[in-house]
Amino acid sequence: MSEVATRSTLIRGGRVALPDGNLLETDVLIEDGRIAALGEARGGADTILEAGGMLVLPGIVDLHGDAFERQIMPRAGVSFPLDLALMDTDRQMLANGITTAYHGVTLSWEPGLRSRDVVVDLLHAMEATKPRFGCDTRFHLRFETYALEAVDEIAGWLVEGRVDLLAFNDHMPATLRKIASGQVQSLTRYIERTGLSQDDYVALVNRLVERKDDVAVAIRRLAGIAREAGIAMASHDDETAEARRDYHDLGCTIAEFPLTAAAAEESTRLGDMIVLGCPNVVRGGSHLGPNGISAADAIAEGRGDILCSDYYYPALVQAPFVLADKSITGFTDAWRLVSTNPARAAGLEDRGEIAAGQRADVVILDKPETGPAMVAATLVAGEAVYRSGMI
């Protein structure tokens, strides 16, 4: 019987982020998709990447990104084929060092972009197109808790293993507050993507809220199935410590964007991981303005464990440098927020560190003294799926 040839790649001379937090100028040998060894290489390899003067870091794991929606619908009511949109998104992510991506797909009670029919089509398109992706792309189902007609179908997806991360979203209270206070105009952006008139949107909300008692039952049912299947779970936009405790008790050990200090502090007390947005860090504050939480401040106060792309992929690779430049945390600790920590929160033990035996998901960065960091190469399972002219 003939032996299968070993494929090898050598990343030579870069400053490698080690699991202990140090940066060491050394070589990284990759064989058959995994990191084989660190240290000065004495032999050759099938492929050699000269990384002198560059950073060699664990690939980015993006737990929550929905910027792909702009490829699907770049303008309200203007849609493009899903496979085309997903392939374009894949290329964007790789060029920004993202090696594992959880597409945050919202299944809402709304018609339009986030409707059940669009989500079903998107799930099918993701599954059909996945062999062509360079990035390890996964399905993060963001369940709007009033989308009760879809509960049976979602339960089936969970059992079938088609969902990789389940998040519970409830934007209904905020929507109701805006309607009650006469601020319906502030919902225009959301109403436009549904295709409804303002009056029809308000009427739909009023009908749905009458089923409030059914929502808690649906949440418990889906959380139970996800726990049994070993699927990581998150809650989104928790407003109170009580809400965070309730979701924690259901097995949701990830807190996405807690809206108050009390909810964030309860997450920390419970040992749950808090997800914040990289755009917030890079822009210097929340897109919600003064009412939003500063992600950088939250991290400085010990209330932030994971950074995600949220709505803008390029922010992921830049945010750790911003945190380090502001002396909020050391650079390698900041990089763990986009690599090691999200991998562990999602139950991925095979990636997120550069260490022997780990899957070779690696990003090589050039960081000039001024200006943004630039991705020189992105490797997924040892394959150089993106290379710029720098390497």
DSSP at 330: -
**Tens-place pLDDT, residues 340-371:** 999 999 999 999 999 999 999 999 999 999 99
Instruction: Tell me the C-alpha distance between 226 and 245, whole Å.
Output: 18
**Tens-place pLDDT, residues 124-145:** 999 999 999 999 999 999 999 9
Q: In what order do the strands lie in the sheet with 306-308?
A: 60-65, 98-107, 136-144, 165-169, 232-236, 254-256, 273-277, 306-308
Instruction: Tell me the C-alpha distance between 355 and 343, whole Å.
Output: 14
Asked if pLDDT for residue 8 goes beyond 60, the answer is yes
**Tens-place pLDDT, residues 100-119:** 999 999 999 999 888 999 99
pLDDT band at residue 263 under the 50/70/90 scheme: very high
**CA-CA distances (angstroms) from residue 215 to 176, 185, 249, 252, 254?**
16, 27, 17, 16, 20
pLDDT for the residue numbered 191: 85
Q: What is the mean pLDDT of residues 213-229?
A: 97
Structure tokens at 118: 């669009």
Q: What is the mean pLDDT of residues 152-174?
A: 95
The full set of domain ranges for the chain reads 8-57+356-387, 59-345
pLDDT band at residue 337 under the 50/70/90 scheme: very high
The amino acid occupying position 293 is I
Instruction: Tell me the C-alpha distance between 33 and 362, whole Å.
Output: 11
pLDDT for the residue numbered 1: 40
- Percentage of the chain modeled with pLDDT above 90: 80
CATH class of 8-57+356-387: mainly beta
Collapsing DSSP states into helix, strand and coil, what is residue 254?
Answer: strand
The amino acid occupying position 165 is L
pLDDT for the residue numbered 139: 98
List the CATH code of the domain at 59-345: 3.20.20.140
Same fold, 8-57+356-387 and 59-345: no
Asked if pLDDT for residue 13 goes beyond 60, the answer is yes
Question: What is the H or E stretch that residue 290 is in?
Answer: none
pLDDT for the residue numbered 27: 97
Q: What is the mean pLDDT of residues 67-76?
A: 90
> Which of 13, 38, 26, 17 shows the shortest CA–CA distance to 334?
17
Asked if pLDDT for residue 265 goes beyond 70, the answer is yes
Asked if pLDDT for residue 4 goes beyond 70, the answer is no
Asked if pLDDT for residue 172 goes beyond 90, the answer is no
For residue 75, what are the β-bridge partners? Answer: 78
Find the range with the poorest average confidence among 15-19, 44-48, 128-132, 183-187: 183-187
pLDDT for the residue numbered 221: 98
pLDDT band at residue 198 under the 50/70/90 scheme: confident
pLDDT for the residue numbered 155: 98
Q: What is the mean pLDDT of residues 327-346?
A: 98
Top pLDDT among 256 and 176 is at: 256
> Which of 59, 57, 60 shows the shortest CA–CA distance to 17?
57
Instruction: Tell me the C-alpha distance between 355 and 38, whole Å.
Output: 7
pLDDT for the residue numbered 5: 57
> Which of 44, 50, 46, 49 shows the shortest CA–CA distance to 6?
46
Instruction: Tell me the C-alpha distance between 378 and 11, whole Å.
Output: 12
pLDDT for the residue numbered 220: 98
pLDDT for the residue numbered 56: 98
Instruction: Tell me the C-alpha distance between 48 and 140, whole Å.
Output: 35
- 260, 252 Cβ separation under 8 angstroms: no
- 178, 187 Cβ separation under 8 angstroms: yes
Contacts of 265 (CB under 8 A, 6+ apart): 241, 303
Asked if pLDDT for residue 287 goes beyond 80, the answer is no
> Angle at which helices 151-160 and 212-229 pack, to 10 degrees?
10
pLDDT for the residue numbered 15: 98
For residue 215, what are the β-bridge partners? Answer: none
- 307, 316 Cβ separation under 8 angstroms: yes
Widest pairwise Cα distance in the chain: 76
**Tens-place pLDDT, residues 24-46:** 999 999 999 999 999 988 778 99
